[in-house]
Structure 1
């Protein structure tokens, strides 16, 4: 079972705000189905022990605060986003139609191999967008590399890997890459046009600056074309 991040200081502060003693907390947690001794509550606040996931969820309910307050961090990983939603791995796996073993493996490796429907269910359950999921899994640089290669060369060869990376159907990815490839090609045409016309250097520098700005926004522009939430694909689309 995943050990949640835990902030002893935040836990103590939350308890004090509620005006509860360790005994009160332990009694209320028992009512929530997670019985503990008051000494364990104190140990959490002293930092010598860390609550289990069920204990963290019960403690958040007792102290009337989101789990993220007790975790003391903004969720960064897949597991932490699940904890923030007070979902066990078993419950989330069932909700998205995936085996618990496969889902736990995704959390441990930070690698997602779910199909379109499982991915859509995952982002819905965790309150995320597809773009956020790609960021959580650490694939932003990989996506940027694919986009750069696609606009500078044969974009069609990057459709499948990009579609698999962002879990969007290939029809929509193809449309986005085609558009970006054409847009980027315009910079080269404009630049060469000014070179042939022997225009002043300032105009060439402007075009070069526009090109650089376009490259810096590749990922942002891709999601603008695709849609960050990842709407449902057409019924006749091939799902990655």
Structure 2
């Protein structure tokens, strides 16, 4: 069983109003064009107020009625299931594209744990058009990336470029500046904290705060 879909109520209302449609028009469109006959104008209003959210079939029909992709009505996709829904792709198509039996793929999606091999992971990223950050997240590699990044900022960052590039499917040449910057930030933080507190314990706490968010820091550094 999948968790509730992140629904962007404001986006739904904005799209509806931009099209000059009332909630009743949207409900009618979902019924006539997509066979979702149980939806009423009250449902549409409740979704837009954020007091309820559509299920996957309702989301697909709502997107069709509003002439948009399902992803435009969702918050940022976090899981493999949500990325697939955001793109309006059937589970069978993802299974075929990655070379996985349908049952195996569906189990991974429902469990929220990807266990495909490196080749299947690459096919998944390509088929869904996942950015490196999203591919790392849905394939469960964030912990390993965090470990490598922590070692890079606390030791010699140069020694970790190849491993990080391979894990994140990035050109190692694009990692030099971000890793150097992160290493300098971390070392400067440790030095400043140690100087102020005069204790290794306090310095360690400052460093821990840095590495607790090291994944986000890494992606932000890449975008600079």
TM-score class normalised by the smaller sequence: 0.5 to 0.7
- Give the whole-Å Cα distance in 1 for the aligned partners of 2:137 and 2:159: 15
Give 1:25 deviation, angstroms: 0.9
Q: Which moved more, 1:134-143 or 1:15-24?
A: 134-143
1:120, CA displacement in angstroms? 3.1
Structure 2: 5+ residue runs without aligned partners?
172-224
Match of residue 24 from structure 2? 23
| Partner of residue 125, structure 1 | 127
| TM-score, with structure 2 as normaliser | 0.59
CA deviation after TM superposition for structure 1 residue 112, in Å: 1.6
1:104 match:
106
The answer on 1:223 being equivalent to 2:165 is yes
2:36 corresponds in structure 1 to 35
Assess, with a 3 A threshold, how the Cα gap between structure 1 residues 216 and 79 changes in structure 2: closer, same or farther.
farther
Matches of 1:75 and 1:220, distance apart in 2: 28
Q: Which secondary structure does the structure 2 equivalent of 1:76 belong to? A: coil
1:4 aligns with 5
* TM-fit CA distance, 1:64: 2.5
| Backbone CA RMSD of aligned residues | 3.5
TM-score, length-scaled by structure 1: 0.55
CA distance in 1, matches of 2:131, 2:103: 24
SS of 1:123's equivalent in the other structure is helix
Higher relative contact order (CA 8 A, sep 6+): 1
Larger radius of gyration: 1
- Give the Cα–Cα distance (whole angstroms) in 2 for the partners of residues 66 and 46 of structure 1: 20
Residue 104 of structure 1 aligns to a residue whose secondary structure is: helix
Match of 1:68 among 55, 66, 71: 71
- Alpha-carbon distance, 1:138 to partner: 4.2
Q: Does 1:48 align with 2:51?
A: yes
Q: Residue 153 of structure 1 aligns with which residue?
A: none
Q: Which runs of 5+ in 1 are unaligned?
A: 150-209, 230-240
Tell me if structure 2 keeps the 8 A contact 1:110–1:137.
Answer: no
